[in-house]
Amino acid sequence: MSAHSTDQPLRLMSVHAHPDDESSKGAASCARYVADGVEVMVVTCTGGEAGSILNPAMDTPEVRADMVGTRREEMAKAAAILGVQHRWLGFVDSGLPEGDPKPPLPQGCFALEPLEVPTEALVRLMREFRPHVVVTYDENGGYPHPDHIRCHEVSMAAFDAAGDPERFPEAGEPWQPSKVYYSHGFSKARIEAFHHALLDAGMESPWAEWLEKWDDSRPDPGTRITTRVTCPEYFPVRDDALRAHATQIDPNGRWFQMPMEMQQRVWPTEDYELARSLVDTQESNEHPGDDLFAGVRERAEAA
């Protein structure tokens, strides 16, 4: 099979930094594609060991004593809800350094690994799973967590290396994915749309403080969107997957304060930026597409 062949079924790989990222970024799209017969694999780069317990109900001595095991169980439940395959890349959560000055990252963490090490691990998975489309984060990591930025770097390096027989020859038969997208979930336009819909309905908005603190000097990912995947019927699946990460997600928190019907009506898509494509596609910021496999499907049908 050639490196660019696109046999059925289509395959999507979604690469994330920590367990729970897959459920807060593009989860409804993944569930939709699974329902459409696409094979989907979620790859989690780290074990999430440094994550805080954000749900007070889960803050127990037993959970604190086994965060690694707890987060693995949560991830397994979320993957089952979404219907996706899942693989751990096997690196250690870097944590989010806080303070002034910020402390150094811990030795041995994902963000400090030589780039070639996690790149080879991801290339190995790409050659095993043979995705046509890869989804990851932009160069800012979606937000500037060191693991998210490293996830971007590793994903792009692996995309470039996976089809090259001279790179990592022991990592399997070369396979070249056709497209890479960046997931963009938190555009200002989306948050403003939710905020105003709640106010218009006479409800309190949990987004007011976020918008007040919005830094307009930082690029708004909403201006980069090229592809909008319509998937409102899978928003409940997304939320169930989020709740499976019980240590990280407070079921009474901001994520769940907006009525589902309102979310589905106000912003029925999950949004992406086409970062790299080796197939012909017309997606652009001015004329967004609606399918991550645009161009890939056509090539598959012609093969």
Q: What digits encode the pLDDT tens for the residues 77-91?
A: 999 999 999 999 999
Asked whether residue 291 is assigned to any structural domain, the reply reads yes
pLDDT of 130 strictly over 80: yes
Q: Of the given ranges (125-134, 138-147, 238-247, 292-301), which has the lowest mean pLDDT?
A: 292-301
Asked whether residue 196 is assigned to any structural domain, the reply reads no
263: confidence class by pLDDT, cuts 50, 70, 90: very high
pLDDT of 3 strictly over 60: no
Task: Please tell me the distance from the alpha carbon of residue 181 to that of residue 299, in angstroms, as a whole number.
Answer: 18
pLDDT, average across residues 262-276 = 98
Asked whether residue 107 is assigned to any structural domain, the reply reads yes
pLDDT of 1 strictly over 80: no
SS3 228: strand
16 is in an annotated binding site: no
pLDDT of 8 strictly over 50: yes
pLDDT of 4 strictly over 70: no
CB atoms within 10 A of CB 194: 20
Asked whether residue 208 is assigned to any structural domain, the reply reads no
Residue with tokens 């979404």: 82
The candidate with the shortest Cα–Cα distance to 211, out of 194, 236, 232, is 194
Prediction pTM value:
0.94
pLDDT of 2 strictly over 60: no
Q: Of the given ranges (47-51, 218-222, 266-270, 289-293), which has the lowest mean pLDDT?
A: 218-222
More confident residue, 7 or 163: 163
pLDDT, average across residues 233-256 = 93
Contacts of residue 301, defined as CB under 8 A and 6 or more positions apart, other chains included, come to none
Q: List for the chain the helix, strand, coil content (%; round to 5).
A: 40, 15, 45
pLDDT of 277 strictly over 60: yes
245 is in an annotated binding site: no
Beta bridge partners of 134: 13, 180
Asked whether residue 203 is assigned to any structural domain, the reply reads no
Tens of pLDDT along 183-234? 999 899 999 999 999 999 999 999 998 899 888 887 788 999 999 999 999 9
Asked whether residue 194 is assigned to any structural domain, the reply reads no
Task: Please tell me the distance from the alpha carbon of residue 220 to that of residue 187, in angstroms, as a whole number.
Answer: 6
- Supply the pLDDT for residue 197: 97
Compute the mean pLDDT over every residue in the chain, rounded to the nearest whole number. Answer: 93
Domain hosting 63: range is: 11-186+221-258+268-302
Domain containing residue 74: CATH number? 3.40.50.10320
132 is in an annotated binding site: no
pLDDT, average across residues 1-21 = 77
Tens of pLDDT along 137-170? 999 998 889 999 999 999 999 999 999 999 999 9
How many structural domains are present in the chain? 1
Task: Please tell me the distance from the alpha carbon of residue 277 to that of residue 283, in angstroms, as a whole number.
Answer: 10
- Supply the pLDDT for residue 299: 77
- Percent above pLDDT 90 for the chain: 82
Asked whether residue 206 is assigned to any structural domain, the reply reads no
Asked whether residue 4 is assigned to any structural domain, the reply reads no
